[in-house]
């Protein structure tokens, strides 16, 4: 059975005190017995990682993620952070290839591939983001683009490595816009991604890979989205900034 995952992406929000308050509330609410089989991830700013990790403590269903990392082991890359640094802080997962990184920082397929590989080498889980802009969908080219994103950055991994990846499908036209893909649209793309994985690896690997939906997920629509057979949870942005709302989403499976 695939994991049920609620991953909150805080992006560039909260100063430390605010972040610790939010994290503490999430950890406390995550003790609810109904969430014992749900994986809860908080993707926090770098400045918060060490403190939020301590806040998580021995919680068995709450994990911490970084929002990016550099593709090199070390070196003269002022302002960057390495996979080794994140691993040393106890980071569990790293979000890679987020649409905002691709758009604002011109991240390439090759760069995301290198980041994925180095994150895996440091025993952390990549949360690999893929998805299309509205113009691409309107041109009916969204399936080809997502397939290209997957094949260019992930499909050189061997089966053992690939099985450790979490995929997050994020239709860019639905991120922070209040517009959500319909259940049918989400399921269609998630099924396509799973089928593409099966063709490149195997049915068994495709069946075990968690595929999250990211795009204006909120308590009001989470239950119907998560009921889709190939949707295994959400990569949640704005709604993850409210502890109760985030936990309500996590309870929507």
- Active-site positions read 98, 170
CA angle 204, 205, 211 (to 5 degrees): 120
**Closest by CA position to 239, among listed 32, 55, 13:** 13
Distance CA 108, CA 97 (A): 8
Which residue in the block uniquely carries the two structure tokens 């014992």?
Answer: 36
C-alpha dihedral sign at 84, 162, 164, 37: positive
Contacts by residues 146-152 (CB-CB < 8 Å, ≥ 24 positions apart): 146/189, 146/192, 146/193, 146/196, 147/192, 147/196, 148/109, 149/97, 149/109, 150/193, 150/196, 150/197, 151/196, 151/200, 152/109, 152/110, 152/113
**Closest by CA position to 93, among listed 139, 132, 124, 48:** 124
């Amino acid at each position: 059975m695939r994991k049920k995952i609620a991953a909150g992406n805080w992006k560039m929000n909260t100063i430390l005190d605010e972040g610790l308050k939010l994290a503490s509330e999430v950890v406390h609410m995550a003790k609810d017995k109904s969430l014992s089989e749900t994986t809860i991830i908080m993707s926090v700013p770098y400045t918060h990682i060490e403190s939020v990790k301590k806040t998580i403590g021995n919680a068995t269903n709450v994990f911490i993620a970084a929002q990016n990392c550099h593709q090199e082991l070390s070196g003269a890359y002022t302002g960057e952070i390495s996979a080794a640094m994140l691993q040393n802080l106890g980071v569990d997962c790293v979000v890679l290839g987020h649409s905002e990184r691709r758009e604002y920082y011109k991240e390439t397929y090759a760069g995301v591939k290198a980041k994925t590989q180095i994150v895996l080498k440091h025993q952390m889980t990549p949360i690999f983001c893929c998805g299309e802009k509205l113009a691409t969908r309107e041109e009916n080219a969204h399936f080809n683009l997502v397939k290209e994103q997957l094949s260019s950055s992930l499909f050189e991994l061997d089966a053992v490595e690939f099985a450790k990846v979490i995929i997050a499908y994020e239709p860019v036209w639905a991120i922070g816009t209040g517009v959500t893909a319909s259940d049918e649209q989400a399921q269609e793309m998630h099924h396509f991604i799973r089928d593409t994985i099966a063709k490149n690896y195997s049915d068994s690997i495709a069946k075990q890979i968690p595929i999250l939906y990211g795009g204006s997920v909120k308590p009001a629509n989470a239950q119907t989205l998560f009921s889709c057979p190939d949707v295994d949870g959400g990569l949640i942005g704005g709604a993850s900034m409210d502890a109760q709302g985030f936990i309500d989403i996590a309870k929507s499976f």
